[in-house]
Homo-oligomer: A and B are copies of this chain.
C-alpha cells in the first residue's frame, strides 16, 4: 500500500479510445494518481500513449505491468472479452483493479474475477460511470433520504451518436456493452432489490440490411425486480442529436428525472425557436463522472477502503444482460434463476 502522501502508481491496460481518456485522467486530472505505465499488445500503441502522457513505462504485454513491483493498481480498458482474464491476473499479482464494463461476459468469468480479487484482498472496482454522474448521484440521494419513497417504475436510456461499423459489432454487444450501463443504473436506483425476470426485444433498425446477419442496434428490456418495481432499459446505436443518456425513477414519493443532455445552459432563441445544443459523446457528457470514478478508485487503493461498485455489481448487471439476450433469442421472458450459472 502506498503512503497517503504518495501518488498511487497506476498502469493502464489498453490504449484505445477509453484507455486514452482514462490515461489522460490518471496523468493530468488526478493529483493523487500517477500514470506509471501503459500496456497494449498493438505494436507501438503503448509507447505512443505513454510518450504523449509522460508515462515512464510501456509494455506490449499486460503481464509485465502486473509483475512490476512499482505498480500499485491497474485500469483495464482492453477489449471486453479480455476483461475477466486481466482482472484475475492483476488481482493475483496484488494490484488494485479498476475494470471497464463489462467486467466479464459470462457468469463463470465474473465469478472467477470476483473470487480472484477476494482471494488477493485487492480493490476491484467496475466502470459503471453513471453512478458517478451528478444527476444519478442526486437521484440516489433522494432515494437514500426517503423523498422518492419506494421505487415503482424506473427507466434508463442510452442512445449513442451513431457512426458504428455494423461489421464490427459482436453479437449481443447492445446488451453486454451498452445496456449493461442501464442495467446497473436500474439496480443503483432500486437499492436493495434484485432482478427477477427479464423480457427483451431487439432489432436492427439503424442498419436494417444487417438484420439477417444478426445485428441488434436497437433494444428495449423490461426488468422485473423482487420488490415489484419494473425497470425499462432501452438503447439505440444512433441518435441524430448526439449522445443521449437519461433516466427516471418513479416512486411512491415522486419522480426523479436524470440526464439533461444539453451541452451548456446557453439557449439560443432564433428563427426556428429556442435551441439548446446537445452533447455529442460519452466523454463530453460524462467527463466529470469518468474522473470521479477513477478518483474514487485511487482513493480506495490508497486508503484500503472498499470500492463503491464492485464485482458483485458487475455480475448482477451481467445477469440481466445475459437474460435479455436469451429473451430475444427465445421470444420469452427469462427468469434470472433460469440462467446457467
- Complex contacts, A153 vs chain B, CB 8 Å: 218, 220, 234, 236
> With the chains together, A50 CA to B262 CA distance in Å?
38
User: Chain A, 304-341, contact with B by CB distance < 8 Å: what is the 0/1 string?
Assistant: 00000000000000000000000000011100000000
Contact between B138 and A264, CB atoms less than 8 A apart: yes
A134 CB-CB contact with B under 8 Å = yes
Does A60 have its Cβ within 8 Å of any Cβ on chain B?
no
Tell yes or no: A166 within 8 A of B by CB.
no
In the complex, chain B residues whose CB is within 8 Å of the CB of A260: 264-265
Q: Cα distance A165–B250 when bound, in Å?
A: 21
Interface on chain A toward B: helix, strand, loop, or mixed SS?
Answer: mixed
Question: Which of A73-81, A89-97, A168-176, A270-278 forms part of the interface with chain B?
Answer: A270-278
Decide if B277 touches A272 in the complex (CB within 8 Å): yes
Band of interface residues on A: 35 or more
**A219-251 near B? 1/0 per residue, CB < 8 Å:** 010101000111010101011111010000010
Alpha-carbon distance A311/B242, docked complex (angstroms)? 40
Number of copies: 4
Docked CA distance A257–B275 (Å): 10
Task: Name A265's contact: one of B236, B258, B275 (CB within 8 Å).
Answer: B258
Of A197, A240, A269, A271, the most chain B CB neighbours within 10 A belong to A269
Q: How far is the CB of A45 from chain B (nearest CB, A)?
A: 22
Which of these, B31, B228, B230, B274, contacts A241 with CB under 8 Å?
B274
Query: Are A266 and B236 in contact (CB-based, < 8 A)?
Result: no
- Pick from A63-71, A104-112, A198-206 the stretch touching chain B: A198-206
Task: Chain B residues near A159: list those with CB within 8 A.
Answer: 250
Let me know if B228 and A254 touch, CB within 8 A: no
Tell which of B205, B241, B266, B332 touches A269, judged by Cβ atoms closer than 8 Å. B241
Q: Counting CB contacts under 8 A, is A263 at the interface?
A: yes
Chain B residues, Cβ within 8 Å of A270: 147, 240-241, 253-255
Decide: B271 and A236 in contact? CB cutoff 8 A: no
Nearest chain B CB to A17 CB, angstrom units: 21
Interface residues of A (CB under 8 A from B): 27-29, 31, 134-139, 142, 147-150, 152-153, 159, 197, 199, 201, 203, 205-206, 208, 218, 220, 222, 224, 228-230, 232, 234, 236, 238-242, 244, 250, 252-278, 331-333
**8 smallest beta-carbon distances between A and B, as pairs:** A260-B265, A254-B270, A28-B31, A138-B266, A134-B264, A273-B277, A241-B269, A135-B266
Query: Can you give 24 contacting A-B residue pairs, CB < 8 Å?
Result: A29-B29, A134-B265, A136-B266, A138-B266, A139-B266, A142-B266, A199-B222, A203-B228, A205-B252, A218-B228, A230-B234, A232-B232, A239-B254, A244-B269, A254-B268, A256-B266, A256-B269, A257-B267, A257-B269, A272-B277, A273-B275, A273-B278, A274-B276, A333-B333
10 other A-B residue contacts (CB within 8 Å) besides A136-B266, A205-B228, A220-B232? A134-B266, A152-B205, A197-B201, A201-B230, A208-B228, A218-B230, A244-B255, A261-B269, A273-B275, A275-B275
